């Protein structure tokens, strides 16, 4: 079985990025085999969750390619009882039921250099995985993103006019995450650095709070100030009003800049337009180059669709591609969603991909896009919460009014392309109030409570066009 395990690892190493292999597959070790399945040793319980979410299917597939359909279990360090550990250490059982000394089973998580994941603390998820396809080679450059692409590539290769800071500005779904992660991929591939930390502003805030509560703030500071070569921080607007996090981040940025490190920010608002942001952090965010990504034009949308079609490995007639590019013009994410929907329906229904099929898929997307606006969302929310539009526009601070108002602002941000300032003014509220409302609802959604059910119910109505 150990030979099979080594073959599986070898195949996986060829199919995923090298840094992903080093981070998630290499630390795994074959712990035991009982005839029905195997148990793999892992550094910690967090590691198990990430492996199951991202690599369990790959592991099973590679074993299946070897003709072995087996059950895979994971064992974190320190979780096994003493008796079982001693038995596993003293002997092993082979495929035929014979026992033999276990000479080579030494879980790699015992090695100090593998006990901590690159860019992550073992006890807290302080970072996110870079997506495999988010590289410079896979980014389709158009007039809308040419400057942002060039600036990102320049930063990855060196500096931009002597500065190591880049701020990517743009609406959701236009490619900010792609370019920021492309910098990380480039640095890891060409500079040999695995100290690339990719986090959202919310991740950074939560990790800092976790560190304070668990008396590990010094490790948190050491990680970001001393052990980071590239910091990619997304959704910077989330820091609005979080003064303690802003102060810590500003100090961290000073350390990184003094050490000549690279920093990439992304956000939907300019630093000066983010409310409740202290001057210290605002000045740091504005130190580097600010570059905006706009919605792609028709020619760029066509090129994006062609590239995605090649990635999917299917043939989409040019008239269909042109139809999708013409109808879906808001953002890249919507464009990809439309293409995937057309291809999927064709495969599931066994139909040829033609204009008629594409129209049946895109009709709902374009219909909802044209009809959904802030006023419609107000009306829907008022009906669901049994309040009047006068109530939701009032200055009332009663919970029965405030909560529906927050829900409406959240839905307006989710389903319209209106800037947050416009959303706030539509409810006769300040910019900061709108951001606060959206943040409140986002937090409550994670709790999967009453608000989650309410949002889910209204969202289904919106997406189904049942106005």
For the domain bounded by 374-464, which CATH number is listed?
A: 1.10.1750.10
Q: What pLDDT was estimated at residue 84?
A: 43
**What are 129's two structure tokens?**
């995985």
Domain ranges of the chain: 2-112, 146-292, 298-369, 374-464
Q: What is residue 224's three-state secondary structure?
A: helix
Q: What is d(CA 274, CA 362) in angstroms, rounded to the nearest whole number?
A: 35
Which CATH code of 3.20.20.60, 3.50.50.60, 3.40.50.300, 3.10.450.50 fits the domain covering 146-292?
3.40.50.300
Tell me how far apart the alpha carbons of residues 204 and 197 are, in angstroms, rounded to a whole number.
10
Assigned token pair, 3 = 């030979």
**Cα–Cα distance between 79 and 464 in angstroms, integer?**
47
Helices (H), 265-354: 279-285, 298-312, 318-327, 332-349
Report the share of the chain in percent with pLDDT over 90.
Answer: 23
Q: Phi then psi for 42, rounded to 5 degrees?
A: -130, 160
What is the chain's mean pLDDT, rounded? Answer: 81
CATH of span 2-112: 3.30.300.180
Q: Give the lowest-confidence range in 191-200, 301-310, 384-393.
A: 191-200
SS3 content of the chain, % helix, strand, coil (to 5): 60, 10, 30
Asked if pLDDT for residue 258 goes beyond 80, the answer is yes
pTM of the model: 0.57
Q: What is the pLDDT of residues 99-133, one digit of tens each?
A: 334 433 344 444 333 333 333 332 333 367 788 88
Calpha distance 117→288 (Å, rounded): 30
Chain-centroid distance of CA 214 in Å reads 26
Distance CA 180, CA 326 (A): 28
Domain 298-369: which CATH class? mainly alpha
User: Alpha-carbon distance 191 to 156, whole Å?
Assistant: 9
Q: Rounded to whole angstroms, how far apart are CA atoms 91 and 442?
A: 51
pLDDT > 70: percent of the chain: 85
Return d(Cα 318, Cα 302) in angstroms, integer. Answer: 9
Integer angstrom CA distances of residue 212 from 189, 215, 228, 439: 34, 5, 20, 22
CA 20, 23, 26: angle at the middle one, nearest 5? 100
Work out the number of other CB atoms within 10 angstroms of the CB of residue 141: 17
Give the tokens for residue 42: 């892992």
d(CA 449, CA 440): 13
Q: What is the bridge-based pairing of β-strands 71-76 and 37-42?
A: parallel
């Amino acid at each position: 079985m150990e030979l099979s395990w080594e073959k599986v690892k070898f195949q996986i190493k060829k199919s995923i990025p090298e840094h992903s292999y080093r981070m998630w597959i290499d630390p795994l070790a074959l712990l035991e085999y009982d005839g029905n399945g195997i148990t793999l040793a892992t550094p910690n319980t967090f590691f198990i969750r990430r492996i199951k979410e991202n690599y369990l299917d790959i592991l099973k597939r590679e074993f299946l390619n070897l003709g072995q359909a087996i059950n895979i279990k994971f064992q974190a360090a320190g979780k096994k009882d003493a008796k079982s550990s001693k038995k596993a250490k003293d002997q092993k059982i082979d495929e035929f039921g014979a026992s033999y000394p276990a000479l080579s089973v030494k879980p790699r998580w015992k090695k100090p250099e593998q006990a901590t994941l690159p860019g992550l603390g073992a006890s807290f998820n302080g970072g996110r995985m870079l997506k495999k396809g988010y590289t410079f080679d896979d980014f389709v450059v158009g007039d809308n993103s040419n400057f942002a692409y060039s600036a990102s590539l320049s930063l990855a290769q060196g500096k931009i006019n002597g500065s190591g800071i880049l701020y990517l500005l743009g609406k959701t779904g236009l490619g900010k995450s792609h370019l920021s992660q492309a910098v990380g991929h480039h640095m890891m591939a060409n500079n040999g650095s695995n100290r690339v930390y990719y986090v959202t502003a919310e991740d950074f805030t939560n990790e800092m709070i976790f560190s304070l509560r668990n008396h590990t703030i010094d490790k948190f500071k050491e990680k970001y100030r001393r052990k980071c070569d590239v910091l990619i921080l997304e959704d910077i607007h989330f820091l609005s009003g979080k003064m303690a996090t802003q102060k810590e981040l500003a100090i961290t940025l000073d350390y990184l800049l003094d050490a000549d490190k690279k920093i990439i920010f992304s956000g939907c608002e300019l630093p000066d337009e983010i409310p409740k942001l202290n001057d210290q952090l605002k000045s740091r965010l504005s130190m580097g180059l600010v570059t905006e990504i706009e919605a792609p034009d028709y020619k760029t949308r066509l090129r994006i669709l062609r590239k995605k079609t090649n990635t999917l490995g299917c043939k989409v007639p040019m008239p269909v591609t042109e139809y999708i590019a013409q109808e879906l013009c808001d953002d890249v994410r919507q464009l990809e969603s439309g293409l995937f929907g057309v291809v999927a329906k064709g495969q599931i229904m066994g139909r040829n991909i033609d204009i008629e099929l594409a129209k049946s898929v895109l009709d709902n997307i374009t219909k909802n896009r044209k009809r959904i606006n802030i006023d419609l969302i107000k009306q829907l929310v008022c009906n669901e919460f049994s309040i009047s539009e006068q109530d939701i526009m009032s200055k009332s601070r009663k919970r029965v009014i405030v909560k529906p108002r927050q829900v409406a602002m959240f839905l307006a941000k989710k389903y319209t392309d209106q800037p947050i300032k416009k959303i706030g003014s539509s409810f006769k509220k300040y910019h900061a109030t709108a951001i606060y409302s959206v943040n409140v609802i986002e937090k409550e959604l994670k709790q999967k409570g009453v608000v989650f059910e309410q949002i889910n119910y209204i969202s289904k109505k919106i997406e189904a066009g049942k106005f």
